[in-house]
Structure 1
Amino acid sequence: MTAYRFCRSDDVPLIVDAYERCNVGSGARPWSLTVDHMKRLGREMNLWTSSCMVAFEGSDPIGVLIAAKREPIASLVLHVAVHPDHRRRGHGRHMMTSLGQKMAILEPTLMLVELPDDDALGRRFFEACGFTERDVLTDYAYAGEAPAVVPGVDLVAGVAAAELASQEDFEVVPELDRCWQRSPLSIRNLRDRPRGLAIATDRGFEAWLLHRGDGDAEKPLPFLAAPPAGTPLEILALGGKMPVPALLRSLLAIAANRAGRSLHLPRVHPSEAPAGRLEEVGFRPGARTIRYESDAAPA
């Protein structure tokens, strides 16, 4: 007989075990999941164990749902999986329905999921659960340009992440106008680990960027945008009073040169300020992510 239950804070090893048991066969994800990953997802992405669920057949985990939650904004379903021997019996849908019923009471009622464009199986599953397409997010990659040939590199200086996160153009960005992993709250959750570069004048920061520190780049988290080959450096945010191509080129060139690696700007929302001009500064579009939404419904 199948039983389902939401998890407690001490159930992290159980969630990891359920993930590893279920992440096999068709639809398996290319990541391992560890207890340390779960702790980091909690700190950085607001994963809540109380929003995670495990399905059991007897004492054996046969299904798992992993989700994050940001009050009062939204929940993000990070992963749903059922062991191949128990698929097509409604377990995945039952877990999603249970989460929706819980969020309808406890809130937030908005539920999101970010799926690779080519994940046809995942998209069909969530559409069958009542999710509809909200928007399309695009990955961008930057190969880098030698700083010596980019004008203005002598104007670029390092800036503390906290100082950039206090800028008005960072503060006013709505959480839902960014993908989950690069939203303002996700960046603040990283505290002092991001690195900042900026071009400053007496008016303030004309252009700036934030990127992950090298340690985070070497240890990407499961469930987030898959970086291109070669452990590129993830750009978290771009902004400024005048984030025009001429200034952004200098920032990007310095960031790539100092890191000694290419740059990755994942899941760019269409409303992001430089979104329409990224190719002008050397970015190339890549993978697309479809963001789906659903309003949690009571039982």
Structure 2
Amino acid sequence: LRTAFQVKRSARMCGECEPCTRTEDCGQCDFCKDMKKFGGPNKIRQKCRLRQCVVRARKMLRVRDEEFSLCERKDNIMHRDRRYSDDYDENDMEPYYKGRNASWGSDDEDGPLYSPVPRKKAIKVKHVKRRNKKFDKKKESRRHKQKQKHRDRLRHSERGDGRHGGDLQQCLGPNCIESTRPNSKYCSEDCGMKLATNRIYEILPQRIQQWQQSPCIAEEQGKKQLERIRREQQAARMRLAEMERRFHELEGIIAKAKQQVVQQDEDVNETDSEDTDLQIFCVSCSHPINPKVALRHMERCYAKYESQTSFGSIFPTRIEG
């Protein structure tokens, strides 16, 4: 037969309690929300709380206070029956020592050397007291674990998954005295909207003032660009005004020119021209000539000197005049 300490740790089901007979997960506890099939990250990797065995489960977070105290009383009674303290009589301990020491106490050679009374005392001092100390330590550690489990169970019950029907809380809405809905802080959506509106009215003006007081780099750059564009627009307007002024002046000159009369039959007064002493010098021969015949003289003089000039000859050019 397999004893209690030979049972594997993975076999944590008694097969008789209600959680062991349950086949489906609740989908509401923190362990179910951690599972991949319910969209969780699968970090805790624990069975559903409603499917954990009450007898063999390591984490008894579902057990209520009455069941927890009942299990604790059963454990104390069981360990009290197995405990051998100094308060027991030697007659009560004699059957235990006889059954335990039957193998090595039945030898005939050991009979005259050792008496049964000192043998009982030696076992009592070395083993029973040591066993009592170990049991006290185990009991303290077991109590510590049970207290920790009890705290975890209370913390889990305070989270309020809605399965055990916790105490109803008051709605957080402004001037509302109704109780909250399951898995909510408000009795209705209107209370939540009112609270959010009041919160916005209280926070938003202060945030807007802080935003207006804090300098914005993009806004400063935009102001600089606007100033530059305004200066360019002013310079363009000044240029347009100058061009408009010149245009009007030109239009006035053209209008005056159109009003003038052209004189086609102009008599040239030769006497007036002869009276003038204006003379110019020829560019080729340097002789003074009359401006009237200056063009014809320069053409002829240039042709004459050009004909007398020879290029690429071994003889020098002889120019008369």
**TM-score by shorter chain over 0.5:** no
In the superposition, the TM-score normalised over structure 2's length comes to: 0.21
More strand by share: 1
In the superposition, the TM-score normalised over structure 1's length comes to: 0.22
Relative contact order (C-alpha < 8 Å, sep 6+): which is higher? 1
More helix by share: 2
The structure number with the bigger radius of gyration is 2
